[in-house]
Amino acid sequence: MANWQYTKGLHDIGNGLYAYLLPDGSWGWSNAGLIVDGEETLLVDTLFTVGLTQDMLDIMRDAAPAAKNIDKVVNTHANADHIWGNQLVKDSEIIASTGCAEEFDHFLPETVIGMMAQSKELGVLGEFVEHCFAPFDFSGIELTPPTTTFADELTVMCGDKTVNLYNVGPAHTRGDVLAHVPGDKVIFTGDIIFNEGHPVIWDGPIANWQKACDRILALDVDVVVPGHGPVTDKAYVRKFKGYLDYIEAESRKGFDAGLSEWDTACEISLADYDTWLDAERVLGNVHALYREFRDEGEAPEVMPIFEAMARFHKEIILPRMQG
């Protein structure tokens, strides 16, 4: 297995497949993919801002002239860091799951721009918003939703390459798509895989996410391009699934002992994951699991969970890192 470098920019996977990586993979620093065959191109995800997406498209066009025209785009899910550059490929067929299309406009650029402008008045939340989003320029974003949606599976062609799209959500979000290129043994996972970073369970149930990992593990793939972090392989997918199993089991222990979400999140040892970014997401994940244990059907409002993670970051994670 090749040891993939984790540097900003385009990485040639071979045979017309590319990964575009944005270290360090933390909040908003997402990956994308490009598939080229002959004159046809398929882009997997756009990026968080128009500027980042424009830079990426320019670099893709330099590497593969066919990318001057992107024929198809797959949005793996509706998180902003995978869709807010869509306007630059608005003439393409934009493909997503129905769940992704449904929540495409649930988080708007105005919201993050407003929070950034008010960050000084927002206390701990404001500090966290600055921590996560200060590097990004959110101006000029025009939401550009999918033009083609599917419920479970869709096979699309890029030239002679078959690309199988599997909706494995709701898991990370309401609709999470894996893009598998069987002929090249490559899979683009979106945020079903975070490499060297804590995932965040916005929707769940976690069982769907664990099944999604099993689905990847059952495929004949050599290269796994995650939604965040370095390019990897199935060995890491196994480790990542182990994290989900572990967080679920630890949350169940805390729940059964009557601990609050906060106290359980404080109790969970992250010794096996101490290099992973964004450890405040553990609290969000405990909240998501408690909702499952309580059988609360509705997905939660995102903002209160985000605010709780902000506080957890300041009061628990930062002191640990400095300690």
Residues that bind Zn ion (CB under 5 A): 30, 79, 81, 191, 227
Q: How far is the CB of 239 from Zn ion (least distance, A)?
A: 19
190 in helix, strand or coil? Answer: strand
The H-assigned helical ranges of the chain are 50-63, 98-102, 109-117, 123-133, 206-218, 234-256, 261-267, 281-293, 302-312, 318-322
Q: How far is the CB of 17 from Zn ion (least distance, A)?
A: 20
How many angstroms separate the CA atoms of 119 and 129, rounded?
A: 7
Residue 194 or 273: the one with the smaller Cβ distance to Zn ion is: 194
Do residues 189 and 114 make contact, with C-beta atoms less than 8 angstroms apart?
A: no
How many angstroms separate the CA atoms of 157 and 221, rounded?
A: 18
Residue 23 or 159: the one with the smaller Cβ distance to Zn ion is: 23
Q: How far is the CB of 135 from Zn ion (least distance, A)?
A: 15
Q: 73-93 burial, b for 16+ CB within 10 Å, e for fewer? A: bbbbbbbbbbbbbbebbeebe
Q: How far is the CB of 173 from Zn ion (least distance, A)?
A: 9
Residue 16 or 226: the one with the smaller Cβ distance to Zn ion is: 226
Residue 81 or 278: the one with the smaller Cβ distance to Zn ion is: 81
Do residues 104 and 83 make contact, with C-beta atoms less than 8 angstroms apart?
A: yes
Residue 16 or 99: the one with the smaller Cβ distance to Zn ion is: 99
Q: How far is the CB of 13 from Zn ion (least distance, A)?
A: 20
Q: Half-sphere exposure of 84 toward its Cβ, with a 13 Å CA cutoff?
A: 24
